[in-house]
Chain A
Amino acid sequence: MLITKTFRSLGSIKIPLILFMILLFVISIQAPKLFSVSGFSNAILVSAPLILATLALTPIVMAGRGAVDLSIGPLISFLNVTLIAWLSGNNITNPIVFCLWAVIAGAGYQIIQALIVTYIRIAPIIVALSGYLILTGVNLMVMSRPGGLSPEWMSSWSGGGEPQIFSPILILVLTALGLWGLFTRTGLYKQLRLVGSDERMAYTSGVRVDFVRIVAYALGGVFAGFAALSYTALVSSGDPTQGATYTLQAVTALVLGGASLSGGRGTATGALLGALNMFLITYLLGAFSFGSLSGYITSLAYGGILAASLLVNVVSNRSSVSRG
């Protein structure tokens, strides 16, 4: 009785949680190497950019109007190549400057998007699409092919020596989750949920709709900056070509985590679980040997999972509505 009650109170993260458990179970049989210190530290390193990218999408999608920021991948890619080409390439390797640039540029880009959405009043998806095109182009102009080298202090993040669980990457993820936790304590969070689920209602209730939206986008931008830092640490170089992949993965993780793309609903736990599930699925597929087919099977699997979780979300939302 108690179990079913707790289970129901989990709401939208119920399904991602079940999937997470199942995946862990299968992996513990198929690929138990994950449950070791090196396995864990590697898992954190590889999944951090996706977790943070998914987290970056969460406040933006919550703001409603169908705002799925498709330009998130190119944005992370943009921050990555500028960190390497503009800062590292000019011998600016101060960690504080690095982190500040990623966070400020990320937030700045998202604030521009929010201003266009609120004041020029264009559908967010169109703004995201054109942002995608512009950034993809700009990224290739900044750096025409993968290359460059991240500063020394950063390559030590990716576990150059001993595998460690409490790496700076983990701290980055925890900081982001902490920031989100603080945000959910403020009144702005409630207002954001209201704006996302019913913007007219929010407006007539006196919520500063525009302001809330801009803050949500800015927060998403900060997380995008975090994602770019962890991504740069992961690849230890600049790569202008990975934008599209990250967009698709982050959107899939977001949906997999139970967020509603129509706005108003989204949790950090959901984003975290969604991204971890994506990582575990990739890990599991890697454990089977498909040889040269593995890349295609991964894309087939991503597509299938995305479609299935969209359908499941629809069904589960409907049943929760009918229950009241």
Chain B
Amino acid sequence: MKKKVKKWLEDGTVDLFLGYKIDCGHPLPHCFTREELDDVDHLVVGETRYSLEKIATHLAKKDPNLKIGLLARDCNQRAINVLTIWHQLDKEKIFPLNVNCCPSPIKPQADCSYMSGETAASYKLQVGIDNAMDIESADAFSDREKNIRWMYEFQKCIKCYGCRNICPVCFCAECTLEHKDLIGPGRLPPQVPIFHLVRASHMVGRCIDCGLCEDACPMDIPLRLLYRKVNTITMDIFDYNTGESCEQSPLSLLGDKVTLSLKPM
């Protein structure tokens, strides 16, 4: 892997390579360059994940001609696909170096259990939604119970915007969650459940199920489950698997092979 990165940097395949390096005892993202080629010996694939593709979009925004290589787990690769579809990254200028990663419904086989997460405490199990729950058991509650349980989760929100800030596929210059007419400023908790449902609806056809949002949530709201649920809708109705390829935009589906006859939800 290190050899390949060195070769890429040397022969000019990439200008920069985003990977991880141990710094102050922590595996932190690091930008490897041609000038500091020996640094590549310290490249690691740690257990921690950062949204390297989001950093790549920042770099691409500054210099669209920059050729960026990056270490890509499956989730990173899916995010790169989505970002390419939405024209945030140029397919010709991004060079992912694939490494093994965590399991997800999109990829069942994996050898990293980083995302298996903590077990919920008894109170959360009783009144809220267990983060490790699958869609079927979360759907199995009665409507009333579902409402109460989700509202319990949502009203914990401290409006840190962490879920949006860390999200690799959130790139809009203007965010609905900051629009004062939709989400009133200065209120805590934010208007629930609108705050979370607005974000959830924006995740349709975009969420790549990386779980970074849930990871970054200080209040342990089961965001991954929520976005996974909304994404099953695009899967069921449009047969569109988000992040699977970088060829097809969700917008191009409309009117092509989709009948638009809504299935009962």
A and B are partners in one complex rather than unrelated chains: no
